[in-house]
Amino acid sequence: MTTNKEQASILLIYTGGTIGMIENAETGVLEAFNFQHLAENVPELKKLGHKVDTYQFDPPLDSSAMGPDSWMKIVRIIADNYSKYDGFVVLHGTDTMSYTASALSFMLENLSKPVILTGSQLPIGMLRTDGKENLITAIEIAAARENGFPIVPEVCIFFENELMRGNRTCKANADNFNAFRSYNYPSLAHAGIHIKYDVAQIYYPVSRRPLKPHYLLDRNIAILKLFPGISPQVVESILNIPGLKGVVMETFGSGNAPLDDWFLENIQKAVKQGIVIVNVTQCRAGSVEMHRYETGQKLLDMGVVSGYDSTTESAVTKLMFLFGHGLTPEEVKEHMNCSLIGEITIPDAFVRP
């Protein structure tokens, strides 16, 4: 694909994480460097020919400290600067990057500009860092336009040569440079000698409407991961959390769970109380098909919602988003059965007329 080469304006938002670390020459300790001096630390940026401004969290946050408040802050920064820039690059720690990317995809309604999250496994100041390549290519992607329009107008993660839809990703490796995977959806682009975009996989808005940022999230969500031998006490303690509204239940295979009476009774009781339970698979790839086996069918009959091929990260943030907007449990269930921004694939057989 041939892209326009005119200068673009990019806002680089540094939230924290490994990519922003540099070794103190005197102490040898890794510390966050001032991204106002980004050009000095990454002189290669000058060759891109784009205008890059920076915004830095103060203090920078480790990814384990990122959450709804941080997501709201990022959304506000983007919304406040939306008309000034052609694209946005968010530098973020890797551990919770998929949660942030998923949340932003729901919170930035009518997004028509690139929001590219990236980071690194090694600090940008280290000799073998993957940070420079990730940063430079993320900026290139955020700036890429075709016929005056952004090529990738959605929230993505770029890491180790792959551009992935943010709400389809999970961190799959703690040690290697290819830390992220999108198991159930193809990459949107691959960066080799050239950046090759798979335009057919990119989400383009049907109509160009003004950005509508959202700041309402409900944290009364829990994850229930099933395992062989799980005790009634564990299930009951989670399903009886005061104020609980939604549960992402990680089941076996294509959506299966124990058939013990105590387990089914607890699930049914929770559903009757208005708790929305979303069934996602523990498998890295594949989809929930609750009609396939008896165990899954029983859950479906009780009112458990299929998460289809959703990641846990996407299901959690989607529930936070929907309940945050005051939707009833039934309304939340309806929206969980819909793809809002390309986060799930619903088989044709299950698409409602």
Task: Out of 15, 18, 311, 317, pick the active-site residue.
Answer: 18
d(CA 3, CA 141): 10
Question: 30: helix, coil or strand?
Answer: strand
| DSSP at 185 | S
Q: Pick from 165, 70, 173: which is nearest to 115 by CA?
A: 165
The token pair at 260 is 């013990």
8 Å CB contact between 245 and 276: yes
For residues 344 and 315, give the distance between their C-alpha atoms in angstroms, rounded to a whole number: 9
Distances (CA, A) of 218 to 43, 68, 98, 327: 42, 9, 18, 11
| Tokens read off for 165 | 């839809």
Measured CA to CA, the distance from residue 94 to residue 158 in angstroms comes to 11
- Tally of CB atoms within 10 A around 339: 15
Cα 261–chain centre separation: 36
| DSSP state string for 280-328 | EESSSS----TTSSHHHHHHHHHTPEE-TT--HHHHHHHHHHHHHTT--
The residue among 43, 49, 41 whose CA lies nearest residue 21 is: 41
Query: Active-site residue 18, yes or no?
Result: yes
Task: Report the DSSP pairing between strands 162-165 and 155-159.
Answer: antiparallel
Catalytic residues: 18
